[in-house]
């Protein structure tokens, strides 16, 4: 019999209606009780957090990874219930904090609470437990009967049950009629590799037409790295001193990463003049086909290990959990 640990962190799946809207209030054990049984799979529960996922921070990512590490030798797989709004960030972060796991580490949640008559909670939780009891390795999100790689997930719908998409990568599998069909298996090792640190001094700037350099200067001043979500395949405005801004802060040891606001197909700084000299002359890092969630989490992980520019570049461009296609 497979033994699974359900780790509760809150979210809509565990929420009750209050006078001020939905708020987490159902423990992990209550989620299990709502299923009315898990067949021949033994599921134990642990209530780690009870948070709306808007309140989740990198400190909580470390707590979740620590809980998995603490119990790793006891269980065959793990299910983490989590709010959907920052679920993709947590899945990406856990992909770097827990690498090459031969056991499944499955995140799930819901768009409607488990106590509602019409809810996706029970299906998602049952599917997640099924996936966690399989031999599918690594970190993944199970939602709406689909299995999505932890580093490739993005929430693309705010209310629909089909809330998540796999960005620039195929889905790992699907659950059909209570059976897990696996299309792609992540790479794994004999044992997982755990990390226990993150550098949270990573900022994200979403460019809009007319953004001023002073915004970017401020973010660089306060952080060790800034991810810039640019337009199209990537670039920075030629007016306003953006090029000089990045150049000055790189000399001070800061890391700059260019990505795109476009969800699919990724960046390509070499295409246009507004991007090519950033890559050629300033050697800024480029996210290519990575999701913004993965870029942010990976930088936190990389910068917790080194701030040396060449080593940051090497680690950033080294694929982890299939987060980018090799360059």
Active site residues: 12
Residue 157: CB atoms within 10 A of its CB come to: 13
**Which residues, other chains included, contact 182 with Cβ-Cβ below 8 Å and sequence gap of 6+?**
134, 136, 147, 172, 173
Q: Is 208 exposed, middle or buried (0-12, 13-18, 19+ CB in 10 A)?
A: exposed
Tell me, rounded to whole angstroms, the distance of Cα 46 from its chain centroid: 22
Largest CA distance in the chain: 64
Check if the beta carbon of residue 225 is closer than 8 Å to that of residue 255.
Answer: yes
Lookup: tokens for 299 = 């930088």
Check if the beta carbon of residue 7 is closer than 8 Å to that of residue 28.
Answer: yes
Could you tell me the end-to-end alpha-carbon distance of the chain, in angstroms, rounded to an integer?
A: 42
**Which residues, other chains included, contact 110 with Cβ-Cβ below 8 Å and sequence gap of 6+?**
11, 12, 13, 84, 119, 120, 121, 124, 125
Distance CA(14)–CA(112), nearest Å, equals 9
Residue 220: C-alpha distances to residues 202, 214, 279, 280, 327 (Å): 9, 10, 18, 21, 27
Beta-strand pair 164-166/153-155: antiparallel
Tell me, rounded to whole angstroms, the distance of Cα 214 from its chain centroid: 29
Owner of token pair 């580490």: 105
Distance CA(59)–CA(41), nearest Å, equals 31
């Amino acid at each position: 019999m497979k033994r699974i640990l359900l780790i509760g962190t809150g979210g809509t799946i565990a929420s009750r209606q209050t006078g001020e809207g939905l708020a987490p209030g159902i423990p992990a054990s209550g989620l299990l009780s709502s299923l009315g049984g898990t067949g021949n799979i033994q599921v134990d529960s642990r209530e780690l957090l009870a948070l709306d996922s808007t309140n989740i921070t990198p400190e909580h990512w470390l707590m979740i990874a620590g809980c998995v590490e603490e119990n790793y030798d006891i269980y065959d797989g793990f299910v983490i219930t989590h709010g959907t709004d920052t679920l993709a960030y947590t899945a990406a972060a856990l992909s770097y904090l827990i690498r090459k796991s031969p056991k499944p580490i499955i995140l799930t949640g819901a768009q409607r609470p488990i106590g509602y008559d019409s809810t996706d909670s029970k299906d998602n939780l049952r599917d997640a437990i099924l996936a966690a009891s399989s031999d599918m390795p690594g970190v993944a999100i199970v939602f709406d009967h689909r299995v999505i790689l932890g580093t490739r997930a993005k929430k693309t719908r705010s209310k629909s049950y089909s809330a998540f998409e796999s960005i620039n990568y195929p889905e790992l599998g699907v659950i059909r009629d209570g059976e897990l069909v696996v299309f792609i298996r992540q790479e794994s090792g004999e044992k997982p590799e755990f990390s226990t640190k993150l550098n949270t001094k990573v900022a994200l700037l979403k460019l809009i037409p007319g953004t001023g350099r002073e915004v970017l200067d401020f973010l660089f001043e306060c952080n060790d790295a800034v991810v810039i979500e640019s337009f199209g395949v990537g670039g920075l405005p030629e007016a306003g001193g953006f090029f000089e801004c990045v150049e000055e802060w790189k000399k001070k040891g800061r890391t700059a990463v260019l990505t795109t606001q476009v969800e699919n197909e990724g960046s390509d700084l070499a295409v246009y003049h507004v991007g090519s000299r950033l890559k050629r002359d300033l050697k800024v890092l480029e996210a290519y086909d990575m999701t913004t969630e993965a870029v942010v989490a990976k930088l936190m992980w990389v910068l917790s290990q080194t701030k040396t520019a060449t080593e940051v570049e090497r680690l950033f461009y080294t694929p982890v959990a299939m987060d980018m296609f090799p360059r």
